[in-house]
Amino acid sequence: MSFRGLLAALALLCCGWPASAGEVVAVLSSAGGAYAETLSAFQAEYGLPVPVFDASDKAPRLPADTGTVVAFGGKAAALKYPPGVSLVYTIAPGAFIRPQRKGGRIVKIAMLPEFRLVLSRLKAIQPGLERLTAFWTSPGFADYVESFVETGAAAGIRVTPVMVKRQEDLPAMLRGGLKDMQAFWLPPDPLLISPETLLIFREFSWNNGIPMYASTKGLAREGATASVGISFAESGAAAARAVKALDSGGAAPAVIFPTRTELTLNATAAKKCGVTYTEELLREADHLFQ
Domain chopping of the chain, boundaries: 3-109, 115-230+262-289
**In the predicted structure, residue 10 carries a pLDDT above the cut 50:** no
In the prediction, which pLDDT does 8 show?
40
Query: β-pairing, 262-266 with 226-229?
Result: antiparallel
Rounded mean pLDDT of 59-82?
91
Most confident region among 11-15, 21-25, 80-84 by mean pLDDT:
80-84
pLDDT in tens, 201-228: 999 999 999 999 999 999 999 999 999 9
pLDDT in tens, 101-135: 556 789 999 988 889 999 999 999 999 999 999 99
Contacts of 172 (CB under 8 A, 6+ apart): none
Indicate the CATH number for domain 115-230+262-289. 3.40.50.2300
- What share of the chain in percent tops pLDDT 90? 62
**In the predicted structure, residue 14 carries a pLDDT above the cut 80:** no
**In the predicted structure, residue 12 carries a pLDDT above the cut 60:** no
Mean pLDDT, the chain, whole residue set: 87
**In the predicted structure, residue 52 carries a pLDDT above the cut 90:** yes
Q: What whole-number distance in Å separates Cα of residue 287 and Cα of residue 7?
A: 30
In the prediction, which pLDDT does 101 show?
53
Rounded mean pLDDT of 233-250?
91
Q: Using the 8-state DSSP alphabet, how is residue 178 labeled?
A: G
Among 70, 145, 56, residue whose Cα is nearest residue 105: 70
What is the SS3 string spanning 250-289? CCCCCEECCCCCEEEEEHHHHHHCCCCCCHHHHHHCCEEE
Q: What whole-number distance in Å separates Cα of residue 196 and Cα of residue 186?
A: 14
**In the predicted structure, residue 13 carries a pLDDT above the cut 60:** no
Q: What whole-number distance in Å separates Cα of residue 51 and Cα of residue 7?
A: 9
